[in-house]
A and B are shown apart, each in its own frame.
Chain A
Amino acid sequence: MRGGAGPTLVLVVAVGVLVATGVTLLLERSLTRILLGVILLGNGVNLLILLGGRSGAAPLVGLAPAGQTSDALPQAMVLTAVVITFGLTAFVLAVAYRSWYLSGDDEVQDDLEDRQIVRLAERNEVPTADLGGEGPDNDPEQVDPGPALRRLRRGDRR
């Protein structure tokens, strides 16, 4: 079906489309779409590996002359990669389900830091520069270290 010059254009285009759609879906927030993106991207990359080897007859000794068999190594690698992608897909699916179970949807939320910064920006405030900020006045150590220490040791600070 294919000439010796290289892979057909159809397969190359297929790799491009699979990777492009996969990456687009990865940019979504919903884990289900990310999952579909991972599947498409994985298949695209696997197809790419397959294109890297020489095409030809089945790589079994005796079926074809030695020079005309296909390269078996990319096929072996793709088998491994397919299994790995499958495992990762299953894990993402489990995470998506768990996320839906816990919070009712499978959207990945903003991280903690981002949310804090957004909150500060809304109120137009600056973050507390140094958290150590207690002057000598309210530092009990500099006034009377004894009682605080004893209270703490007994563990009845209430």
Chain B
Amino acid sequence: MHKEANEVLLEIKGLFKKYDDMTVLDDVNLSINKGEVVVILGPSGCGKSTLLRCLNGLEKIQGGDIRYRNKSLVDKDVNWQEIRQHIGMVFQNYELFSHMTVIENILLGPVKVQKRDKNEVMEQANQLLDRVGLLDRKDSYPRQLSGGQKQRIAIVRALCMNPEIMLFDEVTASLDPEMVREVLDVILGLAKQGMTMLIVTHELSFARAVADKIVFIDKGKICEISDPDEFFTHPKTERAQHFLNKFQY
């Protein structure tokens, strides 16, 4: 994939996170350049989802620093509302607002939070919906949509805020197998356009196709950061080797 100028957007330094007595993330260091697609892999419960949640201010951290455009996000006076407009997030269970139609879901953030002109946002929303092939569902309620459709809408909802970075938290994990593809295609399309993304997933072949960089986490620690081809053919650590073996029949 293409790499633009090595402008660092997000930088994680010595991140430490624990729930009660259990350490979930331990001394995590990672930086994400503009236009880069970083895929985080690792066994279940290794802390990869927690890492994404920290980057969106949904979890408090106990140590280290997270910097967005060189501005620390661990200061007490950090305005998460502002930051979240630049760092979009898509969840495993879609989490569309169940009482709103598709278009209402999409407009809520741009119109109420960003105070943008409704017509302008509507136009953008229509374009995005068209791109994911769901323009005709814009007045549906989430309960009328399939999982794959809901997830594509959730991606549109996040994109419509014009974020600089997108976080994807196991977005295909709740989907029926036949719907995984339609969602991954959307993300692949975004990668081609140069969107900066941080993706947590279990879809290994997708990871290999989309990633500029693979980050392997185990037991809350980053074990290795590699080029995708290198990671899948010659993983540096035994743990990564072990992890990859589990997916082979």
A binds B: no
| Partner-A contacts on B (CB < 8 A) | none
| Partner-B contacts on A (CB < 8 A) | none
